[in-house]
Structure 1
Amino acid sequence: MEASETCRAVEAGKATASALGLQADDAVVINNSDRIVLRLLPCDVLARVAPPAHRADSQFEVVVARELAEVGAPVAELAPRLQARVHMRDDFAISLWTYYEPVGSEIAPAYYADALKRHHAALRKVELDAPHVTERIAVALREVGDREVTPALPGRDREFLGNTLSSLHAAISGGEAGEQLLHGEPHPGNLLNTRRGPLFVDLATCCRGPIEFDLGHAPEEVVEHYPEADHGLVRQCRALDWALFTTWRWRRDDQFPDRSHWRVEGLNRVRAALDHCGLGGA
């Protein structure tokens, strides 16, 4: 978020917590992108504060978190003793979560894979109306083709991303028998190492598709500990994940940190991933 919007978002998060009887004299910004994540003190509650455009995502995330907590999924939970809902203040959508003190050591690939397996198992136990991953691809294709949405995307790169998204769309289509609910973006940044063990966050990305789409976000070493996966499809999904990520960075209103770097680096990662799965000519 822009600096002025960030200040408003912080105050909205603090005011929401205070109105619910929590002591929120201070706030530490943990993450600042299209929405901000705050650690409120001294109540030690996590606030996720989103602008109006992300209100529906915030509401969906609360529903997903509530459903998964009931089946013991390895996910961050909503703040205890508070109503599980999204609060609106100053046009911001605010949800309140349990704060987990991070553990310093990295999550070993085997533990990462185990957490993802348990998460997938939990997702098979719940019924959620979630979009298919192909809907995400369709949105990306529209935005690549819309020069008003992605005005700075050079012509050759626009064509490259469009061709890549179109060709990889088929890789995850038509396999409905092996599909299920997914996290949607279980990359290392969305897996916390806590005293309770690894916990997934950012649950608004929940979607439906093959487990390989999730595995495409995880480090390659993690996939080695998930033997039931189609490793060839994982490599294709990794290229697709990078193509989607890169498309979002070229949006006119994208607020991802260091966006200029990731626009270029993202394209490089797409090409490397395509080469790795033998689709360098895509």
Structure 2
Amino acid sequence: MEPSELRRAVEAARATASESGLQADHAIVIHNSDRVALRLVPCDVLARVAPSGHLADSEFEVEVARRLAAVDAPVAELDPRVEARVHARDAFAISLWTYYAPVPAEIAPADHADVFLRHHAALRRIDLAAPHVTERVALALRQVNDRQRSPELSDADRRLLSDTLGGLSAAISVDTAGEQLLHGEPHPGNLLNTRRGPLFVDLATCCRGPVEFDLAHAPEEVGQRYAGADQSLIHRCRALNWAMFSAWRWRRDDQMPDRRYWRVEGLSRVRAALDRCGMD
């Protein structure tokens, strides 16, 4: 968010926490993109703040978290001191979560694979209407194919992303027998190492598809330790994930920090992943 919008988001989060009976004198920015995560002190709550246009996504995330908490999934939980819902204030959608102090240690590949196995098992225990991963790919493809939404994308790179998104999306949708609910974007930044163990965050991306789509977000050695995973499908999904990531970075209104760097790096990762799959 731009500085002026961020200031408004902070004040909206503090006011929401205060109205819920929590003391929120100060806010520490944990993450700032098109949405922000704030640590409010001294109440020690994590506030997730999104523009009101993302209200439905925020409400979906709260519902996913509520259901997963009921089956003891390894996920961050909503703050138990307040009602589990999304608050609308000053054109923002605000949800209040438990704050987990990070443990300054890397998660070992075996532990990383184990938390994936436990999370996927928990997701199989809940009943939730969620989009298929190919629907998310279609949204990214629309950004790429619309020159007004991605005006700075070159013709060659536009073809690369369009062909990758369209071709790999069709390829992974052929066999639906092993599909289930997924996290959707469980990259290392969305897995916290806490005193409770590793916990997944950012649950609004929950979707349906093969587990290999989730595993493609993790370091390669994690997927190798996940029993029964199709390694070739993980490689294809990794190329698809980087193509989706790149599509969002080339949006005219993308607000990711270091966007200029990630535009170039994302395309490079797409090419490297396709090469790994034996595709050009």
Q: TM range, normalised to the smaller chain?
A: over 0.9
Partner of 2:9: 9
Secondary structure of the residue aligned to 2:177 is helix
Partner of 1:268: 268
Secondary structure of the residue aligned to 2:118 is helix
Partner of 1:216: 216
Partner of 2:144: 144
Describe the superposition over 1:231-268 as per-residue Cα deviations: whole angstroms up to 9, x where unpaired. 00000000000000000000111111100100010000
Partner of 2:88: 88
1:1-282 aligned within 5 A: 1-279=1-279, 281=280
Tell me the CA shift for residue 55 of structure 1.
1.1
| Structure 2: gaps of 5 or more residues | none
| Distance of 1:54 and 1:259 partners within structure 2 | 21
Tell me the CA shift for residue 151 of structure 1.
1.1
Secondary structure of the residue aligned to 1:177 is coil
TM-score by length of 1: 0.98
Tell me the CA shift for residue 206 of structure 1.
0.2
Tell me the CA shift for residue 143 of structure 1.
1.2
AA at the equivalent of 1:119: H
Describe the superposition over 1:38-73 as per-residue Cα deviations: whole angstroms up to 9, x where unpaired. 000000000000002211111100000000000000
| Distance of 1:273 and 1:140 partners within structure 2 | 18
Q: 4+ residue runs of structure 1 moved beyond 6 angstroms?
A: none
AA at the equivalent of 1:179: E
Identity among equivalent positions (%) equals 71
Tell me the CA shift for residue 174 of structure 1.
2.3
Tell me the CA shift for residue 126 of structure 1.
0.3
Tell me the CA shift for residue 170 of structure 1.
2.1
| Structure 1: gaps of 5 or more residues | none
User: Which moved further from structure 2: 49-58 or 59-68?
Assistant: 49-58
| Distance of 2:140 and 2:49 partners within structure 1 | 25
AA at the equivalent of 1:39: R
TM-score by length of 2: 0.99
AA at the equivalent of 2:162: G
User: Which moved further from structure 2: 89-98 or 139-148?
Assistant: 139-148
| Distance of 1:145 and 1:122 partners within structure 2 | 37
| Distance of 2:50 and 2:111 partners within structure 1 | 31
AA at the equivalent of 1:221: E
Q: Is the 8 A contact 2:182 2:214 kept in 1?
A: yes
